Structures are given as C-alpha cells and as structure tokens.
C-alpha cells in the first residue's frame, strides 16, 4: 500500500509538469503490479485455491462453463445463491475481502480466476462468473508469466465505482507456469 501511495505522489507531481495523466497513471499501475500484485499472487492461500479449482475443473467443457456463468448471472437477483455463496464463503474470498477492507477504499474489488477464466474467489460478487472471454483474463493468463493488463477507467457494473482494473497472471511458485489470473479494481481518486 505504501508503494502505491508513493507512486501516486510522484505521478501527480509528474502530471503537473507534463499534463499527460493517462500515461502517468498507467505507468504507476504497472509499477504497482510489479511491486505489489506479483508478490500478492505468491500467497499460499491464492496459490492453493487456484490449483485446487484447476484440478476440480479439469474436465469442465466450454458449454458447461457457459451454463455455470448463466447460473451465476441468474443467482445475482435471487435470494438463494448456491454458486455465488460457495465462492464468497471460501477462505480465499475471506482473505480478499480483508485485503479490500484494509486498503481504506483504494481497492474497489479483488477477484482471482482459474485456468478457464472462472472465479475462484472474490471480495465482492462479480457481475458474471466466467471472465475468460474478457481482456482481464485473455491479456494475462493467455500471455503468460509476468503479464499485466491495465483496463480503461470506467464505472464498474459490480461496484458502481469509477475504477481501473489492474490484472496480472498468477504463476505457480513451484513450476513457474501460469495457473490463473487476478484482477484488482483500483479507485484512482483514493490514490
């Protein structure tokens, strides 16, 4: 968190001299990914949860992925939410919720995806379960180790906050192979 605040201060000073805000915030976010996110994804809770879901979903077909995504979207408006609850009640989701809460509003959401682009855990319910058709997963998981993607500044459908989504690949600490990806929503006003 201290790294992000420091980067932000430098970025604001740079903007005052150059006027190129978009380029500066993107550079600050890439630095944040290198300094903080790539360390975060080495956490045992994240590593274990992604590996476990990858094993559980080994034989999951694409039509089954689409059906799960439809189920998730339908559950968002219902009282009974077995799929959503199974993810939100996991140890990984509790860990991510704590991280979000400790960020004092800097993180708007955090979610982790498996090798199919399905949510493994999240700080808040996402609008859909399958992220595999979106740039946040395609430009990280499919690119490989060290991949980072900075999304556009926009109002998030899930959180209703103006944010930038910063995504990175998750690399297995034992094999150095990509096993999933993470997305962190960042409220630029807070930094």
pLDDT of 127 over the 70 cut? yes
pTM: 0.85
Interval 19-48 mean pLDDT: 81
Q: Would you state the pLDDT for residue 63? A: 97
Residue with the larger pLDDT of the pair 164 and 63:
63
Interval 72-101 mean pLDDT: 96
Residue with the larger pLDDT of the pair 72 and 9:
72
Tokens coding 152: 């556009």
Q: Which domains does the chain have, with CATH numbers?
A: 2-190 (3.30.450.20)
Residue 150 and residue 80: Cα distance in Å, rounded? 34
């Amino acid at each position: 968190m201290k790294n992000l605040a420091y980067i932000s201060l430098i970025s604001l000073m740079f903007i005052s001299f150059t006027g190129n805000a978009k380029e500066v915030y993107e550079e600050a976010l890439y630095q944040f990914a290198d300094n903080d996110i790539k360390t975060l994804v080495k956490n045992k809770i994240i590593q274990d949860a992604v590996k476990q879901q990858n094993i559980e979903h080994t034989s999951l077909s694409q039509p089954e992925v689409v059906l799960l995504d439809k189920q998730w979207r339908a559950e968002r408006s219902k009282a009974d939410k077995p799929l959503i609850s199974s993810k939100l009640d996991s140890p990984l989701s509790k860990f991510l919720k704590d991280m979000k809460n400790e960020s004092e509003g800097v993180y708007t959401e955090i979610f982790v995806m498996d090798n199919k682009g399905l949510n493994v855990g999240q700080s808040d319910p996402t609008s859909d379960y399958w992220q595999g058709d979106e740039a946040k997963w395609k430009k990280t998981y499919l690119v490989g180790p060290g991949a980072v993607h900075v999304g556009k500044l926009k109002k998030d459908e899930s959180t209703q906050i103006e944010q930038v989504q910063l995504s990175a690949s998750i690399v297995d600490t034992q094999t150095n192979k990509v096993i999933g990806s993470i997305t962190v929503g960042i409220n630029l006003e807070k930094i």
